[in-house]
Structure 1
Amino acid sequence: MATNVTYGHSTDRAEGTDSAVDVGLLVLRVFFGGLMFMHGTQKLFGWFHGVGWHPTTVSFDKLGYHPGKFFGTLAGLCETTGGSLLLLGLLTPLGAAVAIGTMINAANVTWHHGLMASESALMIAAVAFTLAIAGPGRFSLDHGRPWERRGVLWGAAALTLGVVAAVITLAFKWR
């Protein structure tokens, strides 16, 4: 068994499984990070058959996020930035925190329709949390860099930061 201890984390993997895990993490990051990036650019620019910035801001006003221009822009920027960071495997715990906070707000919007209406947002938040714990893998911009972080503590930090950001956003929505 290979054991690697760096930056406060360790990995114990059987020989030959490293590549499979790294490819799996790459697929997970690219798929979910890409989806978030696409949603953000739909809101901001109308890319990928999105409605664009102005209709997004009007929609956010109708959802009770006042002012809609601020919160619609914030949501688009968070989805684009968090998705990009996860997709690239760059500053992964930060990207995960952004994704978690954004998806908590997305789940809040649909929660009154039941759990299944919030399913996509909750899945993306769970994947982001998982990536913060597991790390982005070898095929990432974080890999081998001094700032590379992963592990249970970094996952907990990403979750905490995401929840705090979501609560602050929702507090402004509810006032």
Structure 2
Amino acid sequence: MTTTTNTEATTTDTAALESADGSALLGSDIGLLILRVAFGALLVVHGTQKLFGWFGGYGLSATAKGFGSMGYTPGRFFATLAGLSEVTGGVLLVLGLLTPLAAAIALGTMINAVHASWGQGFSGGYELPLVYALAVAAIAFTGPGRISLDHGRPWQRSGAAWGLGAVVLAVVAALITLAVR
């Protein structure tokens, strides 16, 4: 009797954790959802702080002055580029849509953020952008998981080759940005 009850409970618990296609969701799918949504949403917050002054941010004019003082001239262009990249990459990560591209956008931006804050040292300097960079690089390789808009679509891409492609694209974009600033 105890065995039957445990089996029934296990079957019920598994049924509650099925994806839209009827397959059981794995802990990794839920973990990737949490990682994507958390880091994506935080990137959106940072981007809107730069662009609109939301969430206690400085807004575009003050952010542009800050970018100019860091050597990113014209400051307004680079502040807008950084803000739009954070918002775009963040929204795509939250949705799990075009994930390798989303990771490349976010990673390229974070490489520049690490560079810009390098002189401030690790703690209180480049630590936070480095954490973001590592998280989005991991997502580039793992893919978005099954709880995403990419899952099961013809455009879904993940794996080592796509992760490496996203990292290479991010590094090239970051280097171009650093070269023209």
Normalising by the residue count of structure 2, what TM-score does the alignment of the two structures yield? 0.84
Q: Which amino acid aligns with 1:105?
A: N
1:148 — aligned with what?
A: 156
Deviations 1:36-92 (A, max 9, x none): 010001111111111111111111111110001110100000010011111110000
Q: Percent identity?
A: 56
Moved over 4 A (4+): none
Give the drift of 1:119. 1.2
Deviations 1:86-114 (A, max 9, x none): 11100000000001100000000111122
Give the drift of 1:131. 0.6
2:71 — aligned with what?
A: 64
Asked if 1:132 is matched to 2:140, the reply is: yes
1:48 — aligned with what?
A: 55
Asked if 1:157 is matched to 2:133, the reply is: no
Secondary structure (helix, strand or coil) at the match of 2:54 reads coil
Secondary structure (helix, strand or coil) at the match of 1:148 reads coil
**Of the candidates 135, 156, 178, which is equivalent to residue 170 of structure 1?**
178
Q: Which amino acid aligns with 2:119?
A: H
1:97-116 aligned at under 5 Å gives the runs: 97-116=104-123
Q: Which amino acid aligns with 2:113?
A: A
Largest Rg, 1 or 2: 2
Deviations 1:13-50 (A, max 9, x none): xx96x421111000000110111010001111111111
Give the drift of 1:115. 3.1
**Of the candidates 34, 55, 61, which is equivalent to residue 27 of structure 1?**
34
Alignment partners' CA distance in 1, 2:110 and 2:136: 10
Higher share in helix? 2
Deviations 1:104-153 (A, max 9, x none): 00000111122332111111111111111111011111111100100011
2:126 — aligned with what?
A: 118
Secondary structure (helix, strand or coil) at the match of 1:147 reads coil
Judge which range, 153-162 or 50-59, deviates more.
50-59
Alignment partners' CA distance in 2, 1:98 and 1:122: 15
Normalising by the residue count of structure 1, what TM-score does the alignment of the two structures yield? 0.87
2:16 — aligned with what?
A: none
Backbone CA RMSD of aligned residues: 1.3
Alignment partners' CA distance in 2, 1:113 and 1:76: 21
